[in-house]
A and B are shown apart, each in its own frame.
Chain A
Amino acid sequence: MSGWISGLGAFLGRSAETTGYGLVLLGRTLFHLPHLLTRRRIRDTLDLCYTYCTGSFTVTAVVALFTGMILALNSGLSLQELGQEALIGRIVAVSLIREMGPFMTALILTASIGSGIAAELGTMKVSEEIDALRIMSISPVRFLILPRMVALTLVTPVLTIFAGLIGILGGMFVAYFQLGVGWMAFQNDGLEVLTQKDVFTGLFKSVVFGVTIATVGCTQGLLTRGGATGVGQAARRAVVVTFLLVIIMGYYITWAVLT
């Protein structure tokens, strides 16, 4: 019993320490934000934006397309039984723009980019490259963390919009070919109920998720200990922690917006 309690205590202590480290890291990154306005940092950030976009573009497109199709098929068949299949547009549009788009994009970016950032920084940590930067009086926050955080914060909303549009397109295909709902009917119904608030909620979520993925990935990377095993653990923890945070924060943002 006492072993269980001490284990829980140690876990809570480590979690609090990691959370504190992550928040301080985020604060320091914001403090260094003015340093982004140099040619080298802008170039580094744009390079990362390109890498992150190209690295997740295909998977985001495929997942979004099929999510939209599944959503349309599930809801459409139920609505068809009630003779209300014409309402399929609003369900697909609102779900994808406000909820599913930001959520699935965040999960894809967590798995593909967030874990990659943790592994990359973790490898740099264990191979003393981060110490080398410090010794050269180069701030790792300014040199490594700032471009990654900014790039991911910019890329996430862009991919979220893209995912939403592709998802709606998938939903339209299913509505047209399998449910017999016309293109214009789908589009008009979707646009009729989709409000600016829905769009901004989706975009706001995506920005929060982008910052979260980058912060957790960078934190886990910089806290890596040991060798290859430590790097693997950092990547795994980055994915697990971000998944949990994304889903919890997603709920609370929706709750705050709707109530």
Chain B
Amino acid sequence: MIRLTNVHKQLGGRKILDGLSLEVEEGETLVILGRSGTGKSVTLRHVIGLLTPDSGQIEVLGEEISQHRPENLRTVRRRIGYLFQDGALLDWLNISDNIGLPLRERREHSEKEIVDRIEEVLAEVELDGHALKLPSEISGGMRKRAGLARALVCHPEIMLHDEPTSGLDPISSSVINRLIMKLKGMGITQMVVTHDMGSAFEVADRIALLHQGTVRALGTSDEIRQSTDPAVQQFIHGKVDGPLAREIREDPDSSNNNESEES
């Protein structure tokens, strides 16, 4: 369903992805872990075509998208949902209009169908009753759920989550985790980038630990827990000392590297 093969990427003169190869099967939920700067968000941005690899192949839903051909990207993106860290809602539209935006812009459905679908996804993310509020009038957790609803409104086959629980209280995080589990139950293929270990072990079918731009460890939750790799154990337990501590680099996930290369 998603296949990255030997992907290399440099941003701002720094090597972010260094021969990354990763595969996500249909219906699988893959969680990507790693220290800041290891290229987790950059990986997601490659999968959705916001970044083009310097070399390597990226195949999504049977389409080769690494060359950024607009027609391939359009076809693929219509089948993918993406949850941004802060929801990325348009602040002048209310929640309902934000969620309905992709449907209205596609002009393939009647207004009644769109309104029904908006109500359906609002209920799915437990935001019914907030449809007419502006993004600035709701909490961070609700904004994330609204962003998730917007991503789900077009029935995506793949969901990409960029730090879905960051900055949320434990209860809001649990709500998001439950929604990811619900999507998993619906057979949606998912990639989840997170630092939240509890969330990772709860939702993952498999976990990949990125280190220095490549996959350091890959396995099921149990395999990762029982891994003898000191880097994996260091990351899981959040130890300061260990092989990962030597990787002192600037955080590309929080700098301009999050910018798309599309004009």
Residue positions of A touching B, CB distance < 8 A: 21, 24, 38, 40, 124-125, 127-132, 134-138, 143, 222, 225-226
Known: A127-B86, A135-B48, A135-B82. A40 touches B104 (CB 8 A): yes
B105 close to chain A: CB less than 8 A: yes
Given contacts A131-B88, A137-B77, contact A24 B263 (CB under 8 A): yes
The interface bits of chain B over 89-131 (1 if a CB of A lies within 8 angstroms of the residue's CB, else 0) are 1110000000001101111000000000000000000000000
Q: A135-B50, A135-B82, A137-B77 known; A226 and B262 CB under 8 Å?
A: no
Q: Is the CB of A128 within 8 A of B258?
A: yes
Chain A hits for B258, CB < 8 A: 128
Interface set, chain B 236-263, CB cutoff 8 A to A? 256, 258-260, 262-263
Q: What bracket does the count of chain B residues touching chain A fall in? A: 20 to 34
B259 proximity list for chain A (CB < 8 A): 125, 225
Interchain CB contact (< 8 A) of B102 among A24, A136, A225: A136
Count the A-B residue pairs with Cβ separation under 8 angstroms: how many?
56
The 6 sampled A-B contact pairs (Cβ below 8 Å) are A38-B107, A125-B259, A127-B88, A134-B262, A135-B50, A138-B101
Docked complex Cα distance between A205 and B82 (Å): 44
Chain A residue contacts of B263, Cβ below 8 A: 21, 24, 222
Compute how far the CA of A177 lies from the CA of B29 in the bound complex, rounded to whole angstroms: 81
**A40 surroundings in chain B (CB, below 8 A):** 104
Q: What is the minimal beta-carbon distance from B225 to any residue of chain A, in angstroms?
A: 33
A128 and chain B: residue at smallest CB distance: B88
A160 to B112, CA, bound (A): 43
Rounded to whole angstroms, the CA-CA distance of A138 and B91 in the bound complex is 16
Known: A131-B260, A137-B77. 12 other contacts (CB 8 A): A124-B90, A128-B84, A128-B85, A130-B260, A131-B84, A134-B50, A135-B48, A135-B50, A137-B74, A137-B105, A138-B101, A138-B105
* A124 / chain B contacts, CB cutoff of 8 Å: 90
Secondary structure call for the A interface: helix
Q: Is the CB of B84 within 8 A of A137?
A: no
Bound together, the chains give a CA A153 to CA B263 distance in angstroms of 23
A136→B48 contact, CB < 8 A? no
Q: List chain B positions with a Cβ less than 8 A from chain A.
A: 48, 50, 74, 77-78, 80, 82, 84-86, 88-91, 101-102, 104-107, 150, 154, 256, 258-260, 262-263
Q: Are A225 and B50 in contact (CB under 8 A)?
A: no
Whether A129 and B104, one on each chain, are in contact in the complex, defined by CB atoms closer than 8 angstroms, is no
Do the beta carbons of B86 and A143 come within 8 Å of each other?
Answer: no
Q: Which residue of A lies closest to B255 (CB)?
A: A226
B77 with A135: CB separation less than 8 A: yes
Assess A136 versus B104: contact at CB under 8 Å? Given A127-B86, A225-B256.
no
A128 to B258, CA, bound (A): 8
> Is the pair B50, A129 in contact by a Cβ cutoff of 8 Å?
no
Closest to B102 in A: A136
Please name all residues of chain B whose beta carbon is closer than 8 Å to the beta carbon of A38 when the two chains form the complex. Answer: 107
Chain B contacts of A21 at CB under 8 A?
263
B46 CB to closest chain A CB, in angstroms? 13
Q: How far is the CB of B166 from chain A (nearest CB, A)?
A: 14
Query: A137 near B102 (CB under 8 angstroms)?
Result: yes
The distance in angstroms between the C-alpha atoms of A132 and B77, with both chains bound, is 11
Report if A136-B101 is in contact (Cβ < 8 Å); known contacts: A21-B263, A225-B256, A226-B256: yes
CB distance from B181 to the nearest CB of A (A): 23
Q: Are A128 and B102 in contact (CB under 8 A)?
A: no
